[in-house]
Structure 1
């Protein structure tokens, strides 16, 4: 289905990021384009070298994509280009513990004529351990742009697929003319997701099939060893599945098991204890009840950098009966419990990092703030974004902190990272500088940050699927908003129209959602943007696709007057 949508142009609604290419070429630039100098110094900035740092004024010297020196009295070579950082704050670059930014789904295999649903071929059943995420990855994807704009400089990318999707890789969010590969085959992506209309179709079936594949791989390895060391032994059948699973069985790489709730956590840990493979639990959403269990398992942990929406809480009314009040209390308790989970993990002494899978890029900062409000310390949040992630991915030798000899991966902001008004101004990846526009809140009718979203907006978008455009209209009657949007019809034949839903306008921010009908299936699309006069920049989130950027301009002749 994703492939159909790409061809039809639904993703033409998505913009390939508002940030241009980097100004500075890093150390791995195969294009032959070289800057006048590869030596840079950011002087007199406030540097947070690691998660426990309180911040110190220092100069950071970078040469050929590597940090050469950090300190107050750094000797600068004659060729150094100096960037004044007096008002800037520098942090280690963020690391996404499991990501599908830039990942596209491979072709679905055709079923053979003798297909049997109770015993399907591995590839059709979603068992493809031989696949590599690098075969599905594009550094030029707008999703990569969006992730980098949020401060992420490195990610462990996972392939798209079924219960055993394939091998992950660690890449940089860097120069679009480089492979950006740090390390291939860093783990095996697996999930409890069964196959549709065939075995294994349930979570219990997935566990049984995973056990079967693992045990058969062990047997195959034993037969290979026998065959290579003895005569008179029949040749073992070395299938792609068994060969792809071999480095998991031998303990060379971990299994990255996607588990969203406490039951799936218990199932994954049960498999690990039975079979003995290395385990990383990733994608955790609901884990409050199993924190002690996770700690005792020794598994590494990647939690979703997402928190639930608080719309239902904000919509609560005061003049209600006792039954409704009790319902409100249950909603509030569930919300408080969800945002407190990360803080509880920290207090339990479980080192964890973040994954952005299943999250909206535009809401990452907001989710992090909610976790901090729920009890996660700022140091714990920064560790999860940097040093913890580097340790879990096995790249702490080169990333996760700012130290001499490590890669020049940095986030440079206008203020302390977790302050509300702080914005990311530069992101440095492998010595490449990516610059981002810093927007100031404007006063409208004497009110800070209040913008009027009413009018007809023309939006533009561009993804690997191509460029397109459309329009959306926002109207207001009393305190209620309404509107509609036009977009490329995924079923062909020009454009389609959909009503806007859940329209929210607060300060500079405009949010809304709408549904796209694609081949009889309904896709939920959520848009969030920041209005600056008659322009808007933001992101568009489509379930199963991720976040993309969107840019819009208002037609001045159609602006409604207040």
Structure 2
């Protein structure tokens, strides 16, 4: 979801945003990182060094943010803080191939009086390849904590904007004592997306965007050639410095790729067409429909990032009993399409194409569930782990210090209570850049509320949120819908006094963890709000996430049964 920051709209939402929802998976405060001595020893653990390579009863020594040793019968340094790894499983830290978490969208410039939409300046047309995403990155964004909790330790952050929003960078999710920057200007971000300047502005269509890209690329080649000749010969006119064209130079010499976000196979084919015409290195993120994509990927040698977000499975899992033949046929088509999507990642593996995962469009609280669904539909566990670790390290060019657990590499790892993709697995520790983050785990393996009783969401829940703006609240009314749930949430109306309401979408109850989304309309925008948290004894505690506006605390209590009838 892309939200452009508008102070007037945000001010009307400020009270709402700080009063609606938020959840921390029943885990401890992720800001409690530990790196007192800088030396740790994880002892007697099951350590997966790389996909398919596991050591039993191994010890890992970490010193000053690096892995110093892995093996058995190691001598523990006297100053080491020891983490007992008995019954724990250690994996390389996850790497996010592309994400916009923590990235703010730059404000649009004001139009001059003589503005010509048929020939706008680059910045108005969404062409800002000289920008660095780091200039718009908020290292304190609370959503970073949510992604670290599920195991991410390194991420390539991509800028927000139009067709060429700028250069990406690679950051670590480590401690607050560092700027956490691993590499700058790692890829040129590109999209088949119209500008933010409104309709009627060139290039306003995908074909127009392709034509503009070709024009910029060819002019950049000419500019680069002119500058080289001018530097080594006399008698030549001085070249004009153009920051847009100069931003293409690392792409021309193939030191960085073009990272194209695509949403369907047509956009993929268009990205591949541009690559074949111009010869740049290509990374595509968000591809779908592998039956049409595989040939295009192979022909261009494109590197691939796959989103682990899956569509809503409500219709796919619905009961067709009692429906007409026509409705049964329609429902079956939806189910068939859903099953096909679940198998897309497995098709890449079967075709021998290594790929990485990207969180673009995804939610942290859905990641493990969705990857398990992919595994159940043809993807191997080793390929899933590779897509989170070594494959993304190779795509980003950081395999020398990340992606596997080896001596001398960054101390980035995920430590779980069970094999990573098992239903009962919980994250106990995440080590990022040598900083150790510890999270609470529980022994609940079924939908129960803390007393061994099954969780029943049905009913009316009163929620409150205490924020810098004060305390506010509303209700959630949830009902059973076959094997799933549906619901409605009320909130303070951002456009005036009183309450407004919205359907609760994507309601997922996993164990005693609940998550859902809903949309808020304000100032002409529809904002998607993500809520996730834990239910214990009829109490719901967690957080709400609203794009770059961050995450905010939320608590709810279920009304007694006689009030819910």
TM-score, reference length from structure 1: 0.90
**Alpha-carbon deviations, 1:144-165, whole Å to 9, x = none?**
1111011100000001111001
Q: Match for residue 248 of structure 1?
A: 251
What's the offset of the Cα at 1:487?
A: 4.1
Q: Match for residue 523 of structure 1?
A: 527
For 2:270 and 2:252, locate their aligned partners in 1 and report how far apart those are by CA, in whole Å: 18
Matches within 5 A, 1:290-301: 290-301=293-304
Q: Is the 8 A contact 2:462 2:559 kept in 1?
A: no
Matches within 5 A, 1:326-475: 326-441=329-444, 443=448, 448-452=453-457, 454-460=459-465, 469-475=471-477
What's the offset of the Cα at 1:468?
A: 5.8
Q: Match for residue 539 of structure 2?
A: 535
For 2:138 and 2:290, locate their aligned partners in 1 and report how far apart those are by CA, in whole Å: 32
What's the offset of the Cα at 1:271?
A: 0.3
What's the offset of the Cα at 1:316?
A: 3.0
Q: Match for residue 31 of structure 1?
A: none
For 1:516 and 1:98, locate their aligned partners in 2 and report how far apart those are by CA, in whole Å: 27
Q: Secondary structure at the match of 1:164?
A: coil
What's the offset of the Cα at 1:76?
A: 1.4
**Alpha-carbon deviations, 1:83-111, whole Å to 9, x = none?**
11102111000000001111111111111
With over 3 angstroms needed to count, the CA separation of the structure-2 counterparts of 1:555 and 1:326, relative to structure 1, is closer
Q: Is the 8 A contact 1:46 1:55 kept in 2?
A: yes
Q: Secondary structure at the match of 1:284?
A: coil
For 1:291 and 1:468, locate their aligned partners in 2 and report how far apart those are by CA, in whole Å: 53
**Alpha-carbon deviations, 1:291-330, whole Å to 9, x = none?**
1321232110001111122101223321223222221221
Q: Secondary structure at the match of 1:161?
A: coil
Q: Is the 8 A contact 1:456 1:471 kept in 2?
A: no
For 1:268 and 1:551, locate their aligned partners in 2 and report how far apart those are by CA, in whole Å: 42
Q: Secondary structure at the match of 1:223?
A: helix
**Superposed CA RMSD:** 2.7
What's the offset of the Cα at 1:522?
A: 2.7
Q: Secondary structure at the match of 2:402?
A: coil
**Alpha-carbon deviations, 1:19-40, whole Å to 9, x = none?**
3314323xxxxxxxxx2x2211
My pick for the range that moved more, 523-532 or 119-128, is 523-532
For 1:175 and 1:530, locate their aligned partners in 2 and report how far apart those are by CA, in whole Å: 26
Q: Match for residue 61 of structure 1?
A: 61
For 2:224 and 2:480, locate their aligned partners in 1 and report how far apart those are by CA, in whole Å: 71
With over 3 angstroms needed to count, the CA separation of the structure-2 counterparts of 1:445 and 1:220, relative to structure 1, is closer
For 1:512 and 1:137, locate their aligned partners in 2 and report how far apart those are by CA, in whole Å: 27
For 2:235 and 2:553, locate their aligned partners in 1 and report how far apart those are by CA, in whole Å: 65
With over 3 angstroms needed to count, the CA separation of the structure-2 counterparts of 1:63 and 1:174, relative to structure 1, is same
May I ask how many residue pairs the two structures share in their alignment?
Answer: 546
Q: Match for residue 177 of structure 2?
A: 177
Q: Secondary structure at the match of 1:399?
A: coil
My pick for the range that moved more, 99-108 or 439-448, is 439-448
What's the offset of the Cα at 1:409?
A: 0.2
Q: Is the 8 A contact 1:16 1:141 kept in 2?
A: no
Match of 1:205 among 188, 204, 208: 208
With over 3 angstroms needed to count, the CA separation of the structure-2 counterparts of 1:435 and 1:7, relative to structure 1, is farther
**Alpha-carbon deviations, 1:158-192, whole Å to 9, x = none?**
01111001011010011133210001011100011
Matches within 5 A, 1:30-41: 35=36, 37-41=37-41
For 2:429 and 2:393, locate their aligned partners in 1 and report how far apart those are by CA, in whole Å: 21
Match of 1:225 among 215, 222, 228: 228
Q: Secondary structure at the match of 2:436?
A: strand
Q: Match for residue 49 of structure 1?
A: 49
What's the offset of the Cα at 1:393?
A: 0.5
For 1:467 and 1:372, locate their aligned partners in 2 and report how far apart those are by CA, in whole Å: 44
For 1:297 and 1:242, locate their aligned partners in 2 and report how far apart those are by CA, in whole Å: 24
What's the offset of the Cα at 1:418?
A: 0.6
With over 3 angstroms needed to count, the CA separation of the structure-2 counterparts of 1:224 and 1:7, relative to structure 1, is farther
Q: Match for residue 34 of structure 2?
A: 24
With over 3 angstroms needed to count, the CA separation of the structure-2 counterparts of 1:360 and 1:443, relative to structure 1, is closer
With over 3 angstroms needed to count, the CA separation of the structure-2 counterparts of 1:423 and 1:226, relative to structure 1, is same
For 2:529 and 2:55, locate their aligned partners in 1 and report how far apart those are by CA, in whole Å: 40
With over 3 angstroms needed to count, the CA separation of the structure-2 counterparts of 1:309 and 1:338, relative to structure 1, is same
With over 3 angstroms needed to count, the CA separation of the structure-2 counterparts of 1:117 and 1:310, relative to structure 1, is same
Q: Match for residue 484 of structure 1?
A: 489
For 2:498 and 2:43, locate their aligned partners in 1 and report how far apart those are by CA, in whole Å: 52
What's the offset of the Cα at 1:210?
A: 0.6
Q: Match for residue 30 of structure 1?
A: none
With over 3 angstroms needed to count, the CA separation of the structure-2 counterparts of 1:155 and 1:482, relative to structure 1, is closer
